[in-house]
Amino acid sequence: MRFNRDVFIKELEQQQEWDVIIIGGGATGLGTAVDAASRGYRTLLVEQSDFAKGTSSRSTKLVHGGVRYLAQGNVALVYEALHERGLLLKNAPHLVHDQEFIIPCYSWKSKLMYWVGLKFYDLLAGRSGFKKSSFLKVNKVLSAIPGLSAKKLIGGVSYSDGQFDDSRLAINLAQTAAQYGGVLLNYMQVNALVKNEKGVISGIEAKDLETGKTYQLQGKTIINATGVFVDDVLKMDKPAGKPLVRPSQGAHLVLNKSFLQGNSALMIPKTDDGRVLFAVPWHGKVLLGTTDTPLNAHSLEPRPLAEEIHFILKTAGKYLVKKPTHADILSAFAGLRPLAAPGKNTNSTKEISRSHKLIVSESGLITITGGKWTTYRKMAKDTIDRAIHLGKLAKVKCITDQIKIHGADGVQEPGFFAIYGSDASQIRKLMKSEPELVDALHGDFQLVKAEVVWMIRNEMARTVEDVLARRSRVLFLNADAAGKLAPAVAALMAKELNHNDTWIAAQVLEFKGLVQQYLLKYDEKEDKT
């Protein structure tokens, strides 16, 4: 497989001009790379940190039309997302599955209302491979969600949506783009845009954060797909421009499965302050979220706020028999929605559009922002179509609705290795050829040495965090466990990547600092941004 940083750096140094350069390696940028490379354009993607380090590893893990947006009357958005949901189930079945959601009902009126709404949702979805919604009696609701409180419950409505592993999908998208000839580099930061004498954008200046080397790279089309960072790149183009994005933070908590037994997810359509709260089974744990907190600043590692944690625990406690407390949190993480901001300043991010925005600057820079993970493919298609329309690229048809994402083709293995899709057999082969890699890294956890080596050799993992946060999800599932695994992962990485003991010590120290944040062991008063 051609997915190796050293190989990509060599290709970068040999290429005179790219057809498409994409800044940002989240869902939007990676989807755009798959689209551009599969249309045959010479494609480069640069990511300042790791692929999916930003919002794209911090979602609620739903591939969905958005029942909430339907309630807001945004039928076109829901229709588009439901279509994309069907394509993702077809093209990445190793990472996306049909998940039953149950809305508990406490009055006949609400039960009828949700049922009608969800029938419309089914209708919009058409024949997309997901189960249809249905009425449930109290006993059926309680047998599907044994941990749900029966108090005042009169029944429920069941519906289906997709559930996925966001950062694994991101890595597989990067590999798919590479299979079509794309070059993708993590730890490559764009610091400036290059313009020709007419003021038209003609390239980027990017710094390899591993070596410190700076590159001037020429491209016909430059795409800004940097999520909540789009305004930083827009400022490189036009320092006095108005902000395009308003960040809105969403926090999540991960709990032990005992809080939500069974295989069904719980959907609370209207919490005390009008939000939606999900409790979703995810990799043997329960994911609770999310919130919608307007912020005025953005960062790559946002912290859940004390009031967000309190809100999630309190709301979940109202519905679950076993009330979760602070001490039950295995991991907590937050993500920033790159919501397209309206012209005037508003404090309610619920009012800001969830659909994507595509903007072409006077210089020719194309910026794509907003949207959802679920609609990344359509966002990518619209972006490349726009570049063609602008005369920057020769006309070639989009084929991404037909492309199987890396790992989808070939024999699939059930169980723990299922997330690797058809790569699971390659990891098994590695375990046979190098038997010393068969062992688990730590007695208590399932991650085996061969997986880590696979991630280094074939998934471009460069740091301990790359392995434990995004290629495996241990940091997000059980932060304490991730901290315990860090020294063994660092030692294995050092051997593979030729690093010394100083590197090992620095990696472990840095990662353990991050673990403290996911365990909420910091002073929350610092975080009132």
Ligand X SMILES: Cc1cc2nc3c(=O)[nH]c(=O)nc-3n(C[C@H](O)[C@H](O)[C@H](O)COP(=O)(O)OP(=O)(O)OC[C@H]3O[C@@H](n4cnc5c(N)ncnc54)[C@H](O)[C@@H]3O)c2cc1C
Residues forming contacts to ligand X in the complex (CB under 6 A) are: 23-29, 46-49, 53-56, 58-62, 64, 189-190, 225-229, 233, 250, 290, 300, 335-338, 371-374
Closer of 29 and 182 to ligand X (Cβ) = 29
Block residue for tokens 């591993």:
210
The two three-digit tokens of residue 468, written as one number: 């434990």
Rounded to whole angstroms, the Cα distance separating 419 from 438 reads: 18
With b for 16 or more beta-carbon neighbours within 10 A and e for fewer, the 81-111 pattern comes to: bbbbbbbbbbbbbbbbebbbbbbbbeeeebb
Please, what is the minimum distance in Å from the beta carbon of residue 46 to ligand X?
A: 5
Backbone angles phi, psi at 434, to 5 degrees: -130, 80
Instruction: Report the candidate in 369, 45, 315 with the shortest Cα–Cα distance to residue 178.
Output: 45
Cβ atoms within 10 A of the Cβ of 328, count?
Answer: 16
Amino acid at 287: L
Rounded to whole angstroms, the Cα distance separating 28 from 282 reads: 23
Please, what is the minimum distance in Å from the beta carbon of residue 471 to ligand X?
A: 15
Closer of 31 and 156 to ligand X (Cβ) = 31
Closer of 267 and 468 to ligand X (Cβ) = 267
Please, what is the minimum distance in Å from the beta carbon of residue 106 to ligand X?
A: 25
Q: Name 424's Cβ contacts closer than 8 Å, sequence gap at least 6.
A: 412, 413, 417, 418
Rounded to whole angstroms, the Cα distance separating 230 from 22 reads: 12
Please, what is the minimum distance in Å from the beta carbon of residue 190 to ligand X?
A: 4
Q: Name 222's Cβ contacts closer than 8 Å, sequence gap at least 6.
A: 21, 23, 193, 201, 203, 204, 364, 365, 366
Please, what is the minimum distance in Å from the beta carbon of residue 152 to ligand X?
A: 29
Closer of 266 and 424 to ligand X (Cβ) = 266
Q: Name 115's Cβ contacts closer than 8 Å, sequence gap at least 6.
A: 133, 135, 157
Element (H, E) at 185: strand 183-185
Please, what is the minimum distance in Å from the beta carbon of residue 319 to ligand X?
A: 19
Closer of 202 and 226 to ligand X (Cβ) = 226
Please, what is the minimum distance in Å from the beta carbon of residue 27 to ligand X?
A: 4
Closer of 51 and 319 to ligand X (Cβ) = 51
Please, what is the minimum distance in Å from the beta carbon of residue 84 to ligand X?
A: 9
Distance of CA 261 to the CA centre of its chain: 25
Closer of 219 and 335 to ligand X (Cβ) = 335
Closer of 60 and 417 to ligand X (Cβ) = 60
Instruction: Report the candidate in 149, 499, 178 with the shortest Cα–Cα distance to residue 324.
Output: 149
